[in-house]
């Protein structure tokens, strides 16, 4: 979206907002372009916490990340949950939101997991309906994120990339491409990560998640790569970021996710700087990303509500 007087479109780089990292993030905002806040953490927040988030959003671009809507389902999303996202965007001044291509409940029973649904025509149709309903209620479309899975979704008729592509093409949503999720799925199901990424709709990728994981025991003595957000971003995922930059000419919002076993902030910022060197190198037509861009720069990104 072009806006008069806004900064030129650029890649930008940021961190997931976690209470354990809050003080260090606030001390290093000069090195961070964007903050991603878990929406559900603030659904029941008091006025003081919401004012604090709005103050943060005035200093650095902020986006919301949902974990509980269950968009990828033939069951309609409950409007009450969408209302919570809409109110939170209004209260905080967040520039937009994202959610996973996952189901999280059945018959009002929470499964406690972001599960990959059956990849079928029915789930594509249901997901597109949910995305359009969410867009009407919230006022802007989400970015939707690919999820990691340790088991092939039963009753699937399509591969992951084709299923995701058909949802993106059939809805108003763009893609938040989680490169570690993609890498883990490729490794766990004997696919080439770069080949798998090339089959996704890379022209519709607007944001990227970078994370890490660990090996766990799998069936028949095989190993599985678990996406756990507790480890550093591995070199193979940085390689995917570079390739994505070559294939997707649009500016990207790149966010490192860390949910525990937090390293010193200097190490997270070093990884952020590594990402900031890799993606612009593959985007020669875009200007480099200074630390930090003016507050208006978020208007150049599809996240904007």
**What pLDDT tens digit does each residue of the chain (305 aa) get?**
223 333 458 899 999 999 999 999 999 999 999 999 999 999 999 999 999 999 999 999 999 999 999 999 999 999 999 999 999 999 999 999 999 999 998 777 777 789 999 999 999 999 999 999 999 999 999 999 999 999 999 999 999 999 999 999 999 999 999 999 999 999 999 999 999 999 999 999 999 999 999 999 987 888 999 999 999 999 999 999 999 999 998 999 999 999 999 999 999 999 999 999 998 777 766 765 555 554 444 445 678 78
Contact criterion met (CB below 8 Å) for 299 and 3: yes
What pLDDT shows up at residue 300?
A: 52
Q: What pTM did the predictor assign?
A: 0.93
Distance CA(58)–CA(178), nearest Å, equals 27
Contact criterion met (CB below 8 Å) for 55 and 94: no
> Would you identify the CATH topology of the domain 12-300?
TIM Barrel (3.20.20)
* Domains in the chain: boundaries: 12-300
């Amino acid at each position: 979206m072009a806006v008069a007087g806004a900064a030129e479109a650029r890649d930008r780089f940021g961190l997931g907002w976690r209470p354990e990292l809050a003080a260090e993030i606030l001390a290093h905002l000069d090195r961070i372009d964007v903050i991603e806040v878990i929406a559900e953490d603030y659904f029941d927040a008091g006025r003081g916490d919401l004012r604090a988030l709005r103050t943060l959003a005035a200093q650095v671009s902020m986006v919301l990340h949902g974990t509980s809507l269950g968009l990828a389902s033939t069951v309609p999303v409950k409007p009450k949950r969408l209302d919570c996202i809409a109110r939170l965007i209004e209260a905080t001044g967040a520039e937009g939101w994202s959610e996973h291509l996952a189901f999280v409940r059945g018959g009002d029973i929470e499964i406690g997991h972001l599960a990959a649904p059956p990849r079928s025509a029915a789930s594509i149709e249901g997901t597109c309906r949910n995305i359009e309903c969410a867009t009407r209620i919230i006022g802007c479309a989400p970015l939707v994120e690919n999820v990691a899975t340790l088991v092939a979704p039963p009753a699937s008729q399509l591969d992951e990339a084709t299923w995701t592509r058909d949802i993106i093409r059939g809805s108003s949503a763009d893609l938040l491409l989680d490169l570690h999720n993609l890498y883990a799925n490729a490794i766990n199901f004997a696919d080439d990560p770069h080949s798998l990424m090339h089959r996704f709709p890379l022209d519709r990728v607007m944001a990227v998640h970078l994370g890490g994981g660990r090996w766990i025991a799998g069936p028949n003595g095989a190993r599985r790569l678990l996406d756990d957000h507790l480890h550093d971003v591995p070199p193979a995922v940085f390689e995917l970021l570079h390739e994505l930059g070559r294939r997707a000419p649009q500016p990207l919002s790149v966010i490192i996710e860390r949910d525990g076993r937090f390293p010193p902030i200097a190490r997270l910022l070093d990884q952020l700087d590594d990402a900031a060197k890799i993606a612009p190198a593959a985007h020669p037509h875009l200007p480099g990303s200074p630390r930090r861009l003016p507050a208006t720069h978020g208007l150049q990104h599809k996240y904007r509500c």
